[in-house]
Amino acid sequence: MLRVIDHPLADHILTLLRDRNTKPVTFRTLAYQLTMMLAVDATRDLTTEPKAIETPLEPCTGHLLGREPIAVVAILRAGVAMVQPFMDLFPDVSVGYVGLERDHVTAVARAYYCKLPPLAGRRIYIVDPMLATGGSAVQAIDAVKRSGGVAPRLVCIVAAPEGVAEVSRRHPDVPMHVGVVDRALNERKYILPGLGDFGDRLYGT
């Protein structure tokens, strides 16, 4: 249920994202680019329908995406960085938000907002760049399932082994698409080597 992007361009982008000297304006562009790669990879099992067309040279049968509707659910606030690539690739996507914030001392996430589109019958991608303890992801998946979402997929840029294990334990039906699995969490539940606090680096806070 875990798929890790294996691509030299992803390694390149991740290295620049990790670099503490990367400024927010560049950080946002890199996050966009890597999410685009993750979105392409995570949708490789979309169905298509044959479509007869004519090229300038001859008729041929191509394939267009089927009618399966897609929803993206972003975990605020850092997950906002991952919404635009999905909207650019899939213009008809519906977008929802779950607001979750980790306590700075306990690292336990507190929910403060939830606005979801109708989820029944949709293919759902929950997006959050960082999967650390897995607590935020588990709460977001809980919220999606409570709203009628079935078998959502989780898309993250950096994951810790602890977070992957927690999501697998609590939601074994949820596939995870990640840019990289890092070494471990530190005592403050930050990912090592990681990239620091994604939201702070994204928004320059």
**Residues in touch with ligand URA (CB under 6 A):** 130, 132, 190-191, 194, 197-199
Q: What's the CA gap between 176 and 198, in Å, rounded?
A: 19
Partner in contact with 75, chosen from ligand URA, ligand PRP, none, beta carbon below 5 to 8 Å by kind: ligand PRP
Q: What's the CA gap between 92 and 70, in Å, rounded?
A: 8
Structure tokens at 120: 């029944």
Q: What's the CA gap between 111 and 35, in Å, rounded?
A: 24
CB of 148 to ligand PRP, least distance (A): 23
Nearer to ligand PRP, 5 or 160 (CB): 160
CB of 125 to ligand URA, least distance (A): 19
Catalytic residue among 77, 102, 123, 153: 102
Partner in contact with 136, chosen from ligand URA, ligand PRP, none, beta carbon below 5 to 8 Å by kind: ligand PRP
CB of 199 to ligand PRP, least distance (A): 3
Partner in contact with 98, chosen from ligand PRP, ligand URA, none, beta carbon below 5 to 8 Å by kind: none
Strand runs (DSSP E) across 27-148, as ranges?
A: 48-54, 59-65, 70-76, 94-102, 109-115, 123-127, 130-131
- Which SS3 state, helix, strand or coil, does residue 25 take? helix
Of 8, 15, 13, 11, nearest to 31 (Cα)? 13
Is 200 tagged catalytic?
A: yes
Nearer to ligand URA, 142 or 162 (CB): 162
Catalytic residue among 18, 22, 142, 197: 197
Structure tokens at 133: 């303890």
Structure tokens at 176: 């995870």
Catalytic residue among 11, 26, 106, 110: 106
Q: Residue 70: which residues within 8 A CB-CB, separation 6 or more?
A: 43, 86, 90, 92, 93, 94, 122, 123, 124, 125
Is 45 tagged catalytic?
A: no
Is 102 tagged catalytic?
A: yes
Residues at the site binding ligand PRP, with contacts judged by CB under 6 A: 75, 77-78, 100-102, 107, 109, 128-137, 163, 189, 197-199
Q: What's the CA gap between 101 and 147, in Å, rounded?
A: 20
CB of 62 to ligand PRP, least distance (A): 39
CB of 205 to ligand PRP, least distance (A): 8
Is 106 tagged catalytic?
A: yes
Catalytic residues: 102, 106, 197, 200
